[in-house]
Amino acid sequence: MVFKIEKLKIILKIIILVIAIASSNAQAQVWLSKNAKIRFFSKTPLEDIEAASNYAAGALNTKTGRIFFKVMMKSFKFEKALMEEHFNENYIESDKYPSAEFDGIIQNIPDFTKDGNYELMIKGSLLLHATKVPRDIKATFRVTNGKIEAKSIFLVPCQDHNIKIPSITRKNISDNIEVTILANFTAKS
């Protein structure tokens, strides 16, 4: 009888544990970044081209480590209206391919409940100009007072995404575009 009661206790504990894990909304797992900033930069001796969007959206699951970003191509603003038109019309073809997406998994998931700076490796894929390319990127995550800030800088080769640069503008546009993502995540309520 004593054995049976012990067994029941264990079962009870497991039930409680399972319910606790399965309904652990108290600790947020899903974090959202509504107005993430994405900037890109092309540097050549002839011309620097810079564009930025403040309308990217991102989400992060701190338990599974999955991270997802999406940005509308037409939300990128350039210094010169003509560049913006060329970007949308000639290079990115935003009417055909309106958005870009990054979908990845954090390889070394840290304890997001603890404040600190974390250098994380994200394995994922970048979907741009209808071409999906596997990418491993490094990102810095900073956790302070229940906020998560993420920053990552990486290079995107135009060639990888089938973005054709004609010979006439080859000297004005870099083969590798430097992309910077800045995202402030808040817990999804």
Closest to another protein by CB, 80 vs 123, is 80
Of 1, 22, 114, 145, the one binding another protein by CB under 8 A: 22
Return the number of the residue (59 or 133) whose C-beta is nearest another protein.
Answer: 59
Given candidates 103, 149, 175, 178, which one binds another protein under the rule CB under 8 A? 103
For residue 36, list its beta bridge partners: 56
Site for another protein in 121-180 (CB under 8 A): 166, 168-169, 172
Query: Applying CB under 8 A, does 96 fall inside the site for another protein?
Result: yes
For the chain, give the DSSP string. -HHHHHHHHHHHHHHHHHHHHHT--SS--EEEEEEEEEEEEEE-SS-EEEEEEEEEEEEEETTT-EEEEEEEGGG-EESSHHHHHHIIIIIS-TTTS-EEEEEEEESS---TTS-EEEEEEEEEEEEETTEEEEEEEEEEEEEETTEEEEEEEEEEEGGGGT----GGGTTTS-SEEEEEEEEEEEE--
Shortest distance in whole angstroms from residue 2 CB to another protein: 17
> Counting contacts by CB under 8 A, is residue 80 touching another protein?
yes
> Contacting another protein (CB under 8 A), which of 37, 39, 99, 142?
99
Which residues would be at the binding site for another protein (CB under 8 A)? 7, 10-11, 14-15, 17-18, 21-22, 29-30, 32, 34, 55, 57-61, 63-64, 66, 68-75, 77-82, 85-86, 88-90, 94-96, 98-99, 103, 166, 168-169, 172, 188
